[in-house]
Amino acid sequence: MDLEKLQQKLMAIAKASPPSEQVPYAFEKRIMARLTAPLAVDVWAVWGRWLWRAVAPCMSVMAALGVWVLATMHPEPESQNLEQAIENTLLSGDDVAGE
């Protein structure tokens, strides 16, 4: 089949049948009603928009606090005797119970 001719034929048919210009009854009234209708405020949409806006400042504050905590933290000196430290940790519960 000659595809070139088929394409030309189909395009010629499409050209020969332009779409209708018919308009639904009083369609312009519908658009005007839409344009002049008072804006209904969607409270949840507004709330959602403000929440999204708050994301960046909240993340900045969180990051700043994280940096500040890391900077001011003084790590405890490591125990010289690891064996003793583990024992103390494991037996701390017994010490509390014994008191």
Partner 1 sequence: MEPTDTELIAAVRKGDVAQFEPLIARYQPRVFATARRYARREDEIQDIVQEVFIKAFQKLDSFRAEAPFEHWLMRLAVRTCYDFLRAHQRNRETTLTDLSDPEVDWLERFAASPADNSKNTDAARALVERILAQLSPEARLVITLLEIEDRSVKEISQLTGWSVSLVKIRAFRARAQMKKILETLTREKYL
User: Which residues contribute to the site for partner 1 (CB under 8 A)?
Assistant: 1-3, 5-7, 9-11, 13-24, 27-32, 34-36
CB of 39 to partner 1, least distance (A): 13
Nearest residue (CB) to partner 1, 3 versus 71: 3
Alpha-carbon distance 39 to 29, whole Å?
Answer: 18
CB of 12 to partner 1, least distance (A): 9
Nearest residue (CB) to partner 1, 18 versus 77: 18
H or E segment to which residue 48 belongs: helix 43-72
**Paired tokens of 87:** 């024992």
The alpha carbon of 3 is separated from its chain's Cα centroid by a whole number of angstroms, namely 48
